[in-house]
């Protein structure tokens, strides 16, 4: 039987916030949210964002933009 997803806080900018204390419990959910739904999430410690889970397409676009900026 599948577990119910943990309800995560969503910041004003639309990023899901996952406290590091819940990291293990929500990791699969965050990866699925990124790869299937295109959602961005952040792991937080004491309310501060420490790391992000982003969709592969967003990462690819960031790499492309970084390469274009470096070429200028």
Q: Name all domains of the chain by residue range, CATH numbers in brackets.
A: 10-71 (3.40.1620.10)
Q: Which of 44, 63, 60 is nearest to 52 (CA)?
A: 44
Q: Which of 17, 9, 13 is nearest to 51 (CA)?
A: 17
Tens digits of residue pLDDT in 27-56: 999 999 999 999 999 999 999 999 999 999
Q: What is the pTM of this model?
A: 0.83
């Amino acid at each position: 039987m599948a577990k119910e997803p943990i309800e995560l806080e969503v910041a004003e900018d639309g990023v899901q916030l996952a406290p590091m204390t819940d990291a293990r419990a929500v990791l699969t959910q965050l990866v699925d949210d990124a790869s299937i739904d295109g959602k961005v999430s952040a792991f937080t410690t004491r309310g501060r964002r420490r790391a992000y889970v982003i969709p592969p397409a967003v990462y690819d676009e960031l790499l492309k933009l970084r390469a274009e900026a470096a070429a200028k």
